[in-house]
Amino acid sequence: METSGLNPENSEILEIGAVKIDKDNNISTFETLIKNKHKVPSEIFTLCKNLSQKELDKAPKLEEIKDDFLEFIGDKIIICHNKQFEEKFLEFHIGELKNKFLDSIELACVLEPFKREFNLDYLKKQITKDKNDEKHRALSDTIDTIDVVNALILRFKDRLEKEDKLTLYPLTFEIDSYLNKFKLENWEWSNIINNADFSLKEKTKTVFEEEKNQTKKSNLKEEEIYKLLGDNKNHYEELLKEKDIWDSKKGFIYEFRQGQYDLTKLIRETFNTNSANIACIEAPTGIGKSVGYLLPAVLEVRYSKKRIIVSTATKELQVQLIDKDLPNVINSLGLSGKVSYGYIKGKNNYICKSKFYEYKKDYDKENPTTNDILSIIIIENLIKEGKYGDIEEISYLLLEHFKELREHIMKVACDVDLCKPKKCGENCLYKKRVEELKDEDITVVNHSLLAKWPYTDEKPMENIIVDEAHNLVEKGYDFFSQEIEYKNFRYFLKEIYPSEFSSSSKYYRDIKDKQKRKIKPIDRFYSEIKLDREVKEKISHNINFIFEKMYDVLDFGINEGYSLITNYDLNWEINLQKDDKVGTLYRDKEYVDITYKPYSQIIKSNFESILSNIKQILVIFDRNIDEDIVDKESEIYKYGKSKIKDLEDIATMLGMFLEDEKGDLVSKIASISSKFDNFILKVVPLNLADLFRENILSALNCGIFVSATLSVDNKMEYFTDTLGINTVDNTKKIIEPIYNYKNRVQVIRPTDIGGYKSDDFVLNMSYNIQKYSEISDSNVLSLFTSRKRLEDTYDMLKNNLIDEDINVYMNKKGIKSLKNVENKNIVLGSKGCFEGVDVPGDGLICVTLDKLPNLQPKDPLYYSIMTKFKKTYFDVNYPQMVIKVKQALGRLLRSKYDYGVFVLFNIGNNTYSNKKLENNLHGCIIKDVNQKNVEENISKHLQKSRREVITGLLIDIIKNKKAQNNNLDFVEYINKEIKNRSIKANVRYYKDTKDKLLVEYYNIKYLVEIDKVCKN
């Protein structure tokens, strides 16, 4: 079905297509358009290929086709892709239809849960030979669904054959028996799978797993490239001048960029120097940063046998490196199969196979649902071969479709203490990755794993390339901090609580069981070390006391009125900010100021008691474990020891938290949730430079730190000083942007929308954001420094845009929509959208920022830094603020064909600081505009930029067409290439001539003489 919207109550069915297959494999089809009663949103015509209002006008009404459709369907089972959606629509509009529905998404989720996506377009391109885009037309989508279903079933049988699991039992025997164990019926798909006609295999478009061997071709290419380097064998950067090496990718026009060359050259020199082995490089967007550092990395691996770790901050960039950039660079250099790479995360990001099988075996939920059981089967199918099991990689749609999955996964995530890959007999993904690390050339990780690098035995941290390195400064404090969270600590205490006393403890019973177990491992440990009943009772008393003291901390906030004066979490440094005011309370007929002081005192005194009780438990263990009689190698002993180690770590952390030494460089932060149901105590070391030097810099042979935003006021000292890089031999380089920011980006400051605290700020801002989308006829990304403002603006825009053809989204979910240049989309994003949003061309024309991303002056961490290092607010705030603004601005210029408007809604009136900020915007001037002149200003800038963009683009495409000399029709080729670059222009021959082109780009038409472009 194609519909005019997502909600059946206010949307209509516009088209129905169906294919009927009877017992004897006779095939018949049904296809009809349906006349609409209400306006169809324009994006539907964009989405559904060749659907037009004209055709819908000629179509019959729904009532006129209903009977034919019902007769065609009869009592058949209906298979569709996304049953929830189709069933909902059919139920509402054709209530007479009572057929059974089967969902091909569910089939895909159960049989191939490792897929990244489950939409029809993705599945068909992945598992069938049809690589054409989904048409979003009813009948053609139905045929695609049939192809996908066939492919899924055939590939399932193929896998069973490979696993040698084809027996006399039906194909779905294992799935159905597990369901039957819980008295549930066979899986709905079983009948279809088991009765499939496998003799038709050859007639389907199924793609089976195949190995491709390109080694021979690669060898030749590698030799050619080696020759190209001539006498300068080490001067890898010279390869960037060889267009042929990099041009190979379809739809990609390679251009030499001096900035990329400089980046590669400096990295190559740093890898091969005896002196400054640390380089900090600011590499602006658009220079091809990833290829710029991967080229020397790959060649250092190949020719100098170095092993490299590449660290990035965002998951998006890690995926891009692994899926796109690394294979592209390796292929381009003819090194396929000769340079190994992969990425690894911390243990708890993986599903543990051994935990899973135990969980599956012991699973005894009363009356589980079919989806509960299917979720367990999905996990099994996912991890079975040991190739998958990275929790973060599990598709969002899979988790949405099987809501029960998350809970099961939580229970089978790898246990940091128990997992010992060297001794484990399972072939899980985590073990596989740890083993691969030993010989892996390039390993991609995230910054926090790098900071605590736990795989030194497998791969020492010798050569690192850190991308998005500016993040190390802000996140660095987190890397080295320690914390106790109330909820986690409670769970931990329950884990070590002797079960025989649990029923008499009111505290124990209050805690929801996360994992139902018959005998807890800790009880087996207590029995292993032969702990007496009285000793266990003593432990339970100590734990009860700890529970009680923790509850008191939260109750204090409620009883003393703190909960009445705040809607936000409380955060403060317990020694430095104790006299700060939390709010004012009306008590005993008068207003009283409430400070943090009493709360700091109660936290301290309660945790002193808690620490003393923890110490008593540790003493009990110390006295009662006789190392001579226990089996130190037994799993249960190791488990118990790991819990004791956790308890010791907690004691050490609490000891540090409770110390109150004036001169120490540590911040002790207490956070209480606004609902007063959770707290976190945190110890944050402030000597980041020392820690970074000791833990990271000192281990390195070579360290490359790259980012588009490392400098503030054209200097890198903020970065190098904070991380201690200034104390080691280093090189710093700022590479100039290759695009003319001043020309391509207009930075404006609306002057008449009021201050951010004024009542109508959100109203004015919403109005402006909508206006920018209308003026630019394009998408807008609006960045926010406050969650509340973001939500208020979203509500307002949502309301204002009900009858408009502009869509509005919140947060990262909406980023995808920016890639659609045909519609107008507004995406409102917070912190996470300041970076990692990479939308080229006309996808993103306008970025707005609600206010400067300043730090809260009372933020406990920064307050501690200011107090202990005697810094001003400006010293601490300004550099981080500049970097964030630069990051936001960087969203606009990603490629050669980018341009746009950057709006700073509220940046205050301090001319000095605004001028300073301006100096960091690559030459852009902040221009004041008001409601009257905003449209004129933006339109003028866009018109000028669009003319430049389209001219440059046509020159590039025509040049490339000549070089490629392919057979595509001239105009067809140009249009295809324009679309590849996300530019919203269309080209055709002018009238009947073949020497002039008519280019339509937004609301302007250009007449272009082909000869002149060719000569340019």
Sequence-distant (≥ 6) Cβ neighbours of residue 359 within 8 angstroms: 376, 408, 411, 412
CA distance 943 to 937: 10
Shortest gap between Cβ of 341 and ligand SF4 (angstroms)?
21
The nearer residue to ligand SF4, 359 or 453, going by C-beta atoms, is 359
Of 35-43, 98-106, 235-243, 421-429, the window that binds ligand SF4 (rule: CB under 6 A) is: 421-429
CA distance 495 to 511: 11
Shortest gap between Cβ of 25 and ligand SF4 (angstroms)?
45
Contacting residue, 419, 666, 686, 753, with ligand SF4 by CB under 6 A: 419
The nearer residue to ligand SF4, 403 or 420, going by C-beta atoms, is 420
426 near ligand SF4 (CB under 6 A): yes
Contacting residue, 90, 428, 570, 974, with ligand SF4 by CB under 6 A: 428
CA distance 609 to 602: 11
Contact criterion met (CB below 8 Å) for 950 and 985: yes
DSSP 8-state class, residue 910: -
Three-class DSSP category at 923: coil
Shortest gap between Cβ of 968 and ligand SF4 (angstroms)?
51
- Burial class from Cβ neighbours inside 10 Å (0-12, 13-18, 19+) for residue 123 reads buried
Binding mask 355-374 vs ligand SF4 (x if CB under 6 A, - otherwise)?
x-------------------
414 near ligand SF4 (CB under 6 A): yes
List C-alpha distances in Å: 637 to 494, 910, 982.
Answer: 18, 64, 60
The nearer residue to ligand SF4, 423 or 506, going by C-beta atoms, is 423
What's phi and psi for 589, nearest 5 deg? 60, 20
350 near ligand SF4 (CB under 6 A): yes
List C-alpha distances in Å: 1003 to 781, 892, 939, 976, 986.
Answer: 22, 21, 11, 20, 11
Contacting residue, 41, 342, 346, 421, with ligand SF4 by CB under 6 A: 421
Sequence-distant (≥ 6) Cβ neighbours of residue 43 within 8 angstroms: 805, 807, 822, 823
Distance between alpha carbon 668 and the CA centroid of its chain, in Å? 31
The nearer residue to ligand SF4, 431 or 891, going by C-beta atoms, is 431
CA distance 899 to 600: 52
Q: Which H/E stretch holds residue 181?
A: helix 173-181
What size, in residues, is the chain? 1016
Which two three-digit tokens encode residue 256? 């030499």
The nearer residue to ligand SF4, 414 or 796, going by C-beta atoms, is 414
Of 416-424, 472-480, 853-861, 989-997, the window that binds ligand SF4 (rule: CB under 6 A) is: 416-424
The nearer residue to ligand SF4, 353 or 732, going by C-beta atoms, is 353
Of 210-218, 284-292, 423-431, 778-786, the window that binds ligand SF4 (rule: CB under 6 A) is: 423-431
Shortest gap between Cβ of 380 and ligand SF4 (angstroms)?
13
The nearer residue to ligand SF4, 392 or 822, going by C-beta atoms, is 392
Shortest gap between Cβ of 527 and ligand SF4 (angstroms)?
23
Which two three-digit tokens encode residue 210? 């195949």
Contact criterion met (CB below 8 Å) for 19 and 146: yes
Of 173-181, 347-355, 724-732, 868-876, the window that binds ligand SF4 (rule: CB under 6 A) is: 347-355
Of 350-358, 459-467, 479-487, 848-856, the window that binds ligand SF4 (rule: CB under 6 A) is: 350-358
Please report the sign of the dihedral spanned by the C-alpha atoms of residue 865, residue 871, residue 874, residue 879. Answer: negative
Contacting residue, 431, 490, 732, 789, with ligand SF4 by CB under 6 A: 431
Tally Cβ neighbours within 10 Å of residue 234: 17
The nearer residue to ligand SF4, 339 or 428, going by C-beta atoms, is 428
Shortest gap between Cβ of 784 and ligand SF4 (angstroms)?
39
Alpha helices in 891-1005 (DSSP H): 911-918, 934-964, 970-980
354 near ligand SF4 (CB under 6 A): yes
The nearer residue to ligand SF4, 408 or 868, going by C-beta atoms, is 408
Contact criterion met (CB below 8 Å) for 989 and 1007: no
Shortest gap between Cβ of 175 and ligand SF4 (angstroms)?
23
352 near ligand SF4 (CB under 6 A): yes
Distance between alpha carbon 841 and the CA centroid of its chain, in Å? 22
Q: Which H/E stretch holds residue 584?
A: strand 581-587
**Number of residues engaging ligand SF4 in binding (CB under 6 A):** 13
Q: Which H/E stretch holds residue 224?
A: helix 215-228
Of 187-195, 346-354, 494-502, 933-941, the window that binds ligand SF4 (rule: CB under 6 A) is: 346-354
Distance between alpha carbon 850 and the CA centroid of its chain, in Å? 23
The nearer residue to ligand SF4, 101 or 359, going by C-beta atoms, is 359
For 288: left if phi > 0, alpha if psi spans -120 to 50, otherwise beta; the answer is left
The nearer residue to ligand SF4, 308 or 428, going by C-beta atoms, is 428
424 near ligand SF4 (CB under 6 A): yes
Shortest gap between Cβ of 734 and ligand SF4 (angstroms)?
44
The nearer residue to ligand SF4, 19 or 424, going by C-beta atoms, is 424
353 near ligand SF4 (CB under 6 A): yes
Binding site for ligand SF4 (CB under 6 A): 350, 352-355, 414, 419, 421, 424, 426, 428, 430-431
